[in-house]
Amino acid sequence: MRHVDFSPLYRSTVGFDRLFSMLDTLAQPEGGQTTYPPYNIERTGDDAYRISMAVAGFGQDDIAIEVHRNALTIKGDKNAGEKSEGGELLYRGIAARSFERRFQLADHVEVSGANLENGLLHIDLTRNIPEEMKPRSIPIGSAKGAKKIEAKAA
């Protein structure tokens, strides 16, 4: 994969440092992070999204969800001391290893809820744009109703 150097653009732009650093991190492979657990991101409405993560074998007490400065962090820590009921485990096909998955959230995106159902962790996100940042239309006035200022003759 080719690496794109954005450093020449840093000196000709103002306020886009965060954008270029995010593009740099997207181009680099994630440090040691595997594809476990698998996840889906879907749009459920105009301003609503859902992250679904396969966390088979994990309970509600084993998973921690934290949001801090536009970063969503999901950590799973399964107790290694737990043994299966009724015998010894001959083959482990269901991974129960600890994980930490991070997602970078866009501005004004908030976590609205999370639930664990049938081995899937669903995290619902909503985008709440403040009224002052929403586009607004400006009416165009006519010159007929405008008052004219005239100077009095001296």
Secondary structure (H, E, C), the chain: CCCCCCHHHHCCCCCCHHHHHHHHHHHCCCCCCCCCCCEEEEEEECCEEEEEEECCCCCHHHEEEEEECCEEEEEECCCCCCCCCCCCCCCCCCCCCCEEEEEECCCCEEEEEEEEECCEEEEEEEECCCHHHCCCCCCCCCCCCCCCCCCCCC
Ranges of residues in the chain whose predicted pLDDT is under 70: 1-34, 79-86, 143-149, 151, 153-154
Looking at residue 32, what is its pLDDT? 47
Confidence (pTM): 0.62
CATH 2.60.40.790 fits domain 34-80+93-129: yes
Q: Where are the domains of the chain?
A: 1-32, 34-80+93-129
Strand-strand pairing, 109-117 and 99-104 = unpaired
Looking at residue 2, what is its pLDDT? 57
